[in-house]
Each structure stands twice: as structure tokens, then as C-alpha cells.
Amino acid sequence: MAVETTTRAKLRWGLLDVIVVVFALVPVLWIASLSFKTSATLTDGKFWPREWTLDNYRTIFDTDQFVRALINSIGIALIATAIAVVLGTMAAYAISRLDFPGKKLLVGVSLLIAMFPQVSLVSPLFEIERQLGIFDTWPGLILPYITFALPLAIYTLSAFFKQIPWDLEKAAKMDGATQGQAFRRVIAPLAAPGVFTTAILVFIFCWNDFLFAITLTSTERSRTVPVALQFFTGESQFEDPTGAICAAAVVITVPIILFVLFFQRRIVSGLTSGAVKG
Amino acid sequence: MADIVLDKVSKRFPDGTTAVRDVDLEIADGEFVILVGPSGCGKSTTLNMIAGLEDISSGELRIGGERVNDKAPRERDIAMVFQSYALYPNMTVRENMAFPLRLAKLDKETINQKVDEAAKVLELTALLDRKPANLSGGQRQRVAMGRAIVRQPKAFLMDEPLSNLDAKLRVQMRTVVSRLQKQLGTTTVYVTHDQTEAMTLGDRVVIMRGGAVQQVGPPQELYDHPRNLFVAGFIGSPSMNFLHAAVADGRLRTALGDVPIGDRIRRQLDGADAPRELILGIRPEHFEDAELLDEETRRRGMEFDAPVEIVESMGSDKYVYFTVEGERATAAELEELAADAGAADFSGAGSNLVTRLSAESPVREGEQRRVWFNLEKIHLFDPASGRNLTLHEGRAAGALAD
């Protein structure tokens, strides 16, 4: 009886999972399929392209516009991620380990930043950045990205730090480590999965952002890919750039996939098991 | 190796609570000292202050004659075993044990040699390449010990190192700890809440309550000559029986009958502010089935009749439980002890009496039985201060002493 219900339950869940995955993946596959079609067959409504072509990819890499945007995107997202993760790690460690006056306020304010509607900040930021002369530059985007990614980083990381038993740090100190050595050799290796998870989340946030990127940039100097896609045009006014846009869309998902795959191996859950009885 | 001296050491937390109050303690070089007491008595805080993990609010701590109040843990050269073991999960057993040596910047060969030696002593050689996650509780415990002994520190501090093990393994590890300490001869301070561990392991036992030391001494001395009600109730299993005793006409009126008192106790009760009510304490083994005793022994004690409630035969002895009528003994210490045992709200009417009788006694549940108890082994306590009135120059002398 019990076995039968579990196999049936498994089947039901399996089916549900398949539906969810298909639902999520079909649009992606559709875009990938469109990117391989010739402009003549673009609107034939077939899932599999009848004629395969790499023309669309050639087009986007031929234009300086897209390559430049790709470099901007990668550079800005990587720098913002690195800074946010380093600052977030230090802040989260302090929050989870120390009792200092104003701790609750700090956590509350960072939560407030995360909840603040970004759209209402766009105009003031535009003005401020123009005054400061960082409008349409890399720092002009990196700064707001760090601001909005930090609360996320602090929250994820402090959850990870709280899981690490405090006794380990005490043990390291008893074993002759300084505060710095205890952090570097005992705490940091254990917090690594948390750091990588946070890095992925922050990177995706920066990579996907459209709102800040379209308002705080005006030229190819700092325009990122999501915005650059909007400025795609065909070779002539009458040509539809759908194929090229689809190809670009496929290309910009690749770095994210690579980034996730690269760090995923380091996210080993349950790394702390065995430290303490439990 | 070194001696450890606590000179009026206190710990006050910023919120105003005092966790440890004026603790004076001299631990000799090579001595094995146990800090014991119910939870919240300040024993772990005291240990953490010796370790350097907690600041000392006032007083002085000296290790090997040197004041170490302001020294970081790593400058004190002492090792600690934690209740949670606190093994580094990202390192193998070998790396865990080598960690303190690597921090001390020893060369690789020496490190390996020392780790191998320690592993041999603790029978960990086969496990050196495993990660802590793949070890059993007992093995993890041994690795934690190994990490402590490997660098031959001045002293070991152990914070309830056995309390996470199951009962059988705990008994086994107890002898391991004891043997190891004797073998190495390193000064050891051991914290536990388990009075059995305290009795069996230490050269001397320090009993703490509410941040203050109650009594310090070898286990047998604490058992035979408790200075106060708290020590008497805390040490011993099953614990001492406590009965209410009213002073009347030079005798003590108790649920077991009128107990005669000797001159020395009488003198203490003569004063104007002397307590009119006392608490009488007797250990379970000082009762006996009256039938089994000869005349001479019977004269040294008193007898009473009571209905037998429960008989637990242990093979070597019988634990026999009686319920006797009469007022219950009440004192702050007794309530605290009951709360610590988790039995504060668990008691019927009258007083429960636990006795340990000979296995030969034919006692049966439900019958009325005549029971003898030894008047020379009685303790009398002042319920207000908890002081043991029968104690004379540190020795308990019973109620009849002249």
C-alpha cells in the first residue's frame, strides 16, 4: 500500500516538474530556434528551423555596437559583484558575530534599501550622476548596482555565517590563531559556499538590470547588453532585426550559464557537517 | 605545565548580572580539578575566563605564576576541549590535529611525528585521513582530545567533553580521560554538570552555585562532610534524603520519630537567634532493614515503621522507597536542586524517602517494614543559611556528638 502510494506520488510530482520545466524552457528554446532561422522563414511558425543559418550571429558580432555592449556588461557586472561580495562578507560577519550599538538599525536600513522602488530613484540618480560627471561611465552603473546588491549580499551571507558554529572560532583561538587567522583559515573556507551563492545572485542581478542601464547611459561607452538590444536596427529601415535580437539574447545568457556552472561545483551543501555534534 | 591560581576572580556582564563572584582557587601543577554545579552556576564562564575567551571583570588569574588577565588565548598556551568538539569540518583528522602545530610554525617533520604520536595514544591512527563528518561521536571526541594534547600545553581545559556521548560510551571515555591525564600529568580543569563524572574523575572537586564556590575538596570529603545543604543535595546518587525537623524539648521532632541530639548540637541551638526548625539529612545507604542488624548496631541508630512503596532490586542492593507523613523540608537550595533535576513540580504529599538496603532484606512492596537508620551519619542543616550544623572542624559528626 505504502509503496504504491509513494510511487504514485513520485509519478505525480515528476509530471508536475516536467510541466514546470517545459513551461519555463519553451520560450527560451523558441528564441534559440528563431536565432537560427533565415529572415525568410522567420515567421513560418515552425518550432524547428527548416533552413539553419548562422547569419544572425555573424550580424551581431560584425557590429561593433554589440561587442562593445558585451564588454561593458561583463566588466560592470564582475566589478560590482566583486565589490559587493567583499563588502557584504565583512558586514555580514560583523552582524552575525558582534553585538554593536545600532546593529538592528543597520540591518533595518539595508532591508529598507532592498525594498525601495528603484524606479523612483532613477531621476534623482540621473541628476546626481550628471552633476558628478559619472553619467554614462562604468562607475556610474557600478555604484547603484553595489548599493542595491549589498542588502542582498548581507542577508544571504549573514544567514551562512550564522550556520557556522561559534565554537570553531573559539577553538581556533585556543589553538593559537589570531582573530585574522581564525577568520582566514577556519571561517572563510566554511563560508565559501555562501560567498559563491551570493556572487551568483549579485552577478545575475547586475547582468539583468535594464532600468538603471537605460537611464544612466547614453552611448556605447557604458551601454550594457540589455539596453543595446533595444537599439538594434536592421541593415535598412525596412528590415526587421528579430533574428539578430534573438541571436543576441542567446549570446547574453551564455555568460550567466558559465558563471553558474563554474561556481556551482563549489556550492557543496552540508560542508559544515561533522564540525559539531548535531 | 603550570599551576593555575584564581584570585578573587569575578565576571559581571554589561547587563548587570554577575555570573561569577570572587572565586578563589589554587590548582596545583598536574592536578585534575572538576568544576561542577547546576546549569547557570558560572562553571563554564569560569573556564572561559581561564581560557581567555571571556574577559575577567575583576580579580587576578595567574598561570605558572604569571598574571595573564590581559593575554589573548593563544598567548596563554592552554588547550581546550569543547562540548561540541568544534572540529574543523574542512580538514581531515590529521589536519585538525596538526592545526595548532602549524600555527606554532613547527616544521613539517616534527608536526607529522607529533600527530602520529598523539594519534597512537588515542587509537586514531587508522582515521587520520578521514573528515570529521565521517566519524562517530566517540571518534570525534577523541580527535578533539588529540588536538588538545598534541602540542603539550601548560594546561587542559575541558568543557563538558563527554556530555554529547551516549551513556555507555561516556563511562568508557571517562576512564580514557582519567588515564590520559595521569599519563601526561598536565594540569586539567574539567567542567561538568554530572556529579558522577565529578566524583569519579577529579583529584579535587569545586562545587559552584550562583557564581560562587560552595565547597572545594576531594570527592569523598565532599560526600562525607558537606559544608552546606546545597553540596549535600548535589553530591550523591540517589541524593540525600531531607526531612523537616522541629526543635522541641532538646529533641528533634521528625517524620521518623523524635531524634535525640548531643551536647554539641544542643549548644548551637541554645542561642537566642538559633533556628527553631532544622533540615535533617540522611544518605540512602545509612538506612538498613532493622531485622538484619545485631543489637549493638541497632543501639547506634533509631528505628521507624513505614509502608514500603517501591522496591528496586539492583542485585547488589535494594533501593526501597517509602512515603512518610509530616511536613516537607523547604529551603531555597532544595528548590534549586529539584529544578535542576527537572522535578520541581513533581512531588506527592508527605516526604519521599529513598533507602538503600541489603540485598538480603526480604522487603516487599506494600508491606509495613521496620527500618533502622544511623544517628552517627545524620546531618543537620539550618534552612535559612543552609549551613551544616553537624560539621565540626570540617568533619561531620552526626547528631549525637558531645
- Of A62, A74, A78, A73, nearest to A247 by C-alpha is A62
Q: With an 8 Å Cβ cutoff, is A173 touching chain B?
A: yes
pLDDT for B204 beyond 90: yes
% of chain B exceeding 90 in pLDDT: 69
pLDDT for A1 beyond 60: no
Contact B165, B137 (CB under 8 A): yes
Q: Enumerate the residues of chain A whose CB falls inside 8 A of the CB of residue B131.
A: 274
Beta-bridged to residue B155, according to DSSP, are B78, B187
* Burial class of A106 by CB neighbour count within 10 A (0 to 12, 13 to 18, 19+): middle
pLDDT band at B21; cut points 50, 70, 90:
very high
Distance from CA of B215 to the nearest CA of A (A): 29
CA-nearest residue to A188 within chain B is: B90
Pairing of β B204-209 and β B32-36: parallel
Distance CA B292, CA A184 (A): 70
pLDDT band at B284; cut points 50, 70, 90:
very high
Beta-bridged to residue B9, according to DSSP, are B23
Name the residue facing B103 among A175, A189, A274 (closest C-beta): A175
pLDDT for A266? 63
What mean pLDDT value characterizes chain A?
Answer: 85
Q: Coil, strand, or helix at residue B336?
A: helix
Name the residue facing A171 among B82, B90, B140 (closest C-beta): B82
Location of each CATH 1.10.3720.10 domain in chain A:
62-275
Cβ distance A276 to B85 less than 8 Å, yes or no, reads yes
Per CATH, the homologous superfamily of domain A62-275 is MetI-like (1.10.3720.10)
Which comes out higher in pLDDT, residue B323 or A79?
Answer: A79
pLDDT for B301 beyond 50: yes
pLDDT band at B192; cut points 50, 70, 90:
very high
Cβ distance B53 to A186 less than 8 Å, yes or no, reads no
Give every strand in the sheet of B317-324, ordered side by side: B287-289, B368-374, B301-313, B317-324, B351-358
Name the residue facing A277 among B72, B89, B137 (closest C-beta): B137
What mean pLDDT value characterizes chain B?
Answer: 90
ipTM of this model?
0.82
Contact B83, B163 (CB under 8 A): yes
The 10 Å Cβ neighbour count of residue B397 is 19
Quick one: cell of B218? Answer: 576531594
Cβ distance A177 to B82 less than 8 Å, yes or no, reads no
Q: What is the pLDDT of residues A103-149, one digit of tens each?
A: 889 888 888 888 888 888 899 999 999 999 999 999 999 999 999 99
Q: What is the pLDDT of residues B114-140, one digit of tens each?
A: 999 999 999 999 999 999 999 999 999
pLDDT band at B379; cut points 50, 70, 90:
very high
Instruction: Cell 568543557: give the residue.
Output: B159
Name the residue facing B89 among A170, A172, A190 (closest C-beta): A190
Quick one: cell of B125? Answer: 591512527
Choose the most confident range, by mean pLDDT, from A3-7, A107-111, A238-242: A107-111
Chain B residues at the A interface, defined by Cβ less than 8 Å, are 51-53, 72-74, 78-80, 82-90, 99-100, 103-104, 131-135, 137, 140, 147, 151, 157, 164
